[in-house]
Amino acid sequence: MKPALVRVLTALAVATLAAFATWRVARAYVIQARWPLNSATYTYSYYLPQAFQNGTDRGAYRWTKVKRSSWVWIKNATSLNWIHYGNIDGRGGILGQTFRYGNPITNFTITYDRSENWYTGADIPASNQVDLESIAAHEFGHALGLGHTQSTYCTGAHNTWATMCGAYLLGAITPRTLEDDDKNGVSALYPP
């Protein structure tokens, strides 16, 4: 074989190996939009039960405390970004829903489906309950500009799933804790 052809084939083999190595650790987070600043405010609508406020705050705070990001959620009673409690699609379907407006994002609304069997505490929900803090963390991830994580990070043992996976297992609390993919997503959007 000619030396030039050997060099080309070697370079191609190295590039292919590098591509496969990168593919295995490639990001799975999905960026859909971003805010013009590194913070946003939120407030509760009159329809949000008081029992939902602490879990909502804890879910938002998960994103604020990511060390590799400058993002901050701020609770502010005069905010135009509302957290609602209302009808979405009935029990067992969509648990929460976020609508973002603009890109860059100008405002958002989050709605929790009132038909679900919600657990609003800080401990562990029953196996037939939806953990508010987990869903709040997920919805606030949408509100700051992230989409659903690609399915490669949403398979296998549920306790390793990213918060931004598009599915939820009743009684689970693992989405309360942001996984590396979630942290990488917010850090890419809002670096320190």
pLDDT in tens, 99-156: 999 999 999 999 999 999 999 999 999 999 999 999 999 999 999 999 999 877 787 7
- The reported pLDDT for the residue numbered 153 is 72
Predicted structure pTM score: 0.85
Please give the CATH number for the structural domain made up of 28-189: 3.40.390.10
Least confident of 50-54, 55-59, 148-152: 148-152
Check residues 192 and 20 and name the one with the higher pLDDT. Answer: 192
Calculate Rg over the CA atoms of the chain. 20
In terms of C-beta distances under 8 Å and separation of at least 24 residues, what long-range contacts does 23-27 make, across chains too? 27/181, 27/184, 27/185, 27/188
Beta strand spans in 49-92 (E):
72-75, 82-86
Q: Is the per-residue pLDDT at 14 higher than 60?
A: no
- The reported pLDDT for the residue numbered 34 is 95
Q: Extract the tokens encoding 106.
A: 């100008």
Check residues 53 and 10 and name the one with the higher pLDDT. Answer: 53
Q: Is the sign of the CA dihedral 121, 177, 172, 40 positive or negative?
A: positive
- The reported pLDDT for the residue numbered 9 is 35
